[in-house]
Amino acid sequence: MGDFLPDNASDWLHWIDLLGVAVFAISGTLMAHKKHMDGIGVIVLATVTAIGGGTLRDLILDVPVFWVSDNSYLYAILLAALITIIWIRRSDRFPLRFLLHADAIGLAFFNIMGAQKALSMGVSPVVAVMMGTMSGVFGGLLRDVICREIPLVLKGELYATACIIGGILYTLCLYVGMASHWSMAAGILVTLTIRLLAMRYHWQLTVFHPPTNH
């Protein structure tokens, strides 16, 4: 497989990771607003959404949890939540579409960053795709469960499927020798595009026929 982590890539990978954390923190804050939570609830939900998937990934890979040794992730969560709170207080309505779009962007970033980190630990491409998918969906799943919502990953419109397709594309791009940053860009773009199109056109991975009225 190609070089998935060149020596000069650590800085921009870190900033991409921070961006993914911040976007997921925004989606957690938006959900907290929807559920009329207090300040503590906002921080808890933003934090769980932002770092839940990456924490589970690192625990499974048996590596140091990323935010424990680097507090910049926690600062990114607090800053993203604060900016979102200020923005919402100036608006009179709940921006549901922004919640869904923020979740889709966070999903795309965390999916590929999770797969990249798994590959850097020497796992197989199949496991890397699984770790990427887990990184992308688990934080949002925790957010929705805490808020007693049906998790987006279970609602039918392509969610985990978008992660799997994006992760497979990312690993294939590396396999054919594409530069790591272009491979990551392709994986992120495809994951995001599939998720947004699925939301727009209600694409579903249907298994059972819908119930009929008798």
- Tokens representing 19 are 């961006």
Is residue 177 included in any domain, yes or no? yes
Q: What is the pLDDT along the chain (214 residues), one digit of tens a residue?
A: 444 444 456 778 888 889 889 999 999 999 999 999 999 999 999 999 999 999 999 999 999 999 998 999 999 999 999 999 998 888 767 667 888 898 899 999 999 999 999 999 999 999 999 999 999 999 999 999 999 998 888 876 789 999 999 999 999 999 999 999 999 999 999 999 999 999 999 888 776 666 665 5
Rama region for 210: left / alpha / beta (φ>0; ψ in -120 to 50; rest): beta
* Residue 42 belongs to domain spanning: 7-201
Q: Is residue 31 part of a domain?
A: yes
Q: Is residue 101 part of a domain?
A: yes
* Position 62 in a domain: yes
Residue 151 lies in a domain: yes
Considering its fold, how many domains does the chain have in total? 1
157 three-class SS: strand
- How many Cβ atoms are within 10 Å of 112's Cβ, its own excluded? 31
Reported pTM = 0.87
Structural tokens at position 10: 């650590």
Please tell me whether residue 204 adopts helix, strand or coil conformation.
strand
Q: What are phi and psi of 123, to 5 degrees?
A: -80, 170
Structure token pair of residue 190: 């495809």
